[in-house]
Amino acid sequence: MNIAWGDLGVVFLVSFGAAVGVIVLFTVGVTVLSPAQDASGGLHEVHLGVRRAVAGLCFLACALAVLYGLYLIVFKA
C-alpha cells in the first residue's frame, strides 16, 4: 500500500506557514493600531505614524496572501 505521506506533509507545512503567517501579521496590524491596555505597553510607545505604517504593511501582506489564495483557486486548481 502506497500512502501519500509526502503530500500530507506538504499540506501540513504549507497550511501551517500560510495560516500562522497571516494570523500573526493580522494580529500585529490590529495590535499596533489599538490603544494600550495600560501605560506600559511596549509596542505602544512607538510613534503613531510608525505604528500606522507597520499596520498598513501587515494588512497589505494579508491582502496579498488572500489574493494569492484566490489566484490558486481560480487558475491553478
Partner 1 sequence: MQTIVLLTIVTALLFDFTNGFHDTANAMATSIATGALQPKVAVLISGALNLVGAFLSVTVAKTISSGLVNEAKITPVVIFCGLVGAIMWNLLTWLLGLPSSSSHALFGGLIGATWVAAGADAVKFASVINKVLIPAFTAPLVAGVVALTGTYLAYRISRRADHDAVSGGFKVGQVASASLVSLAHGTNDAQKTMGVITLLLITAGTLPPGSGPPFWVILAAGLSIALGTYLGGWRIIRTLGKRITEIETPQGFAAETTSTAVLLVSTKLGFPLSTTQVCTGSIFGAGAGKKLADVRWNLAGQMVLAWALTLPSAAIVAGVAAWTALGFPGGTVVVAVAAVAIAAGIYALSRREPIDASNVNAPVVGSALAPAVAGGVA
Distance between CA atoms of residues 61 and 67, nearest Å: 10
Question: Which parts of 10-69 interact with partner 1 (CB under 8 A)?
Answer: 10-12, 14-16, 18-20, 22-24, 26-31, 33-38, 40-44, 62, 66, 69
User: Which lies closer to partner 1 via its Cβ, residue 38 or residue 49?
Assistant: 38
User: Which lies closer to partner 1 via its Cβ, residue 44 or residue 61?
Assistant: 44
Distance between CA atoms of residues 66 and 22, nearest Å: 9
CA angle, 55 then 56 then 57, to 5°: 90
User: Which lies closer to partner 1 via its Cβ, residue 37 or residue 49?
Assistant: 37
